[in-house]
Amino acid sequence: MRILVSGLLLAMGFAATASAQTVNGTYSVAGTNADGTAYKGAAEITWNGTACSISWQTGSNSAGTCLLTGKAFGASYQLGDATGIAVYELQPDGTLKGQWTAVGTNGIGTETLSPSK
C-alpha cells in the first residue's frame, strides 16, 4: 500500500510539473475594462515551484501570484491600492481567456493572454 501511495504522489508531482510547463513566459494581452474600454499590453508568467508569479504591463503595472489546476488558471494581483483576482481557462493553443475584477471596481473585465511567438 505504501508503494502505491508513493507512486500516486510521484505521478501527481509529474502531472503538476507538466501542467506548469504549459503556461509560462511572455504573453500579449488584449482586454476590456469593466466600463467597456479596451486595453493591450504584455504579461510575464514565471513558475516558482508549484505556483507562479505574473506581471502585467498594460499602461499601468500590476503583479501577483498565480496557479494552474487542470485548465483553470487563477491569479491574484495588486494594482495600486486595489487587490484583484483573474480567472482564465487554458485553451488548447496555450491562450488564456478569462475575466477579472478588483476591489472597488464596479463590474467585471475580460482578458485574453496569447503566448508570444
Boundaries of domain holding 111: 2-115
pTM: 0.80
DSSP 3-state of 20:
helix
Query: Which residue shows C-alpha cell 484583484?
Result: 84
Non-local CB neighbours of 66 within 8 Å, separated by 6+ positions: 45, 51, 52, 53, 54, 73, 74, 75, 76
Residue 22 — very low, low, confident or very high, per pLDDT cuts 50/70/90?
confident
CATH number at residue 47: 2.40.128.120
Query: Which residue shows C-alpha cell 491569479?
Result: 75
Domains contained in the chain, number: 1
| pLDDT tens profile 43-98 | 999 999 889 999 999 999 999 999 999 999 999 999 889 999 999 999 999 999 99
Q: What is the DSSP letter of 64?
A: E
Query: 56 and 76 in contact (C-beta within 8 Å)?
Result: no
Whether residue 4 is predicted with pLDDT greater than 70 in this model: the reply is no
Whole-angstrom distance, CA of residue 78 vs CA of residue 73: 17
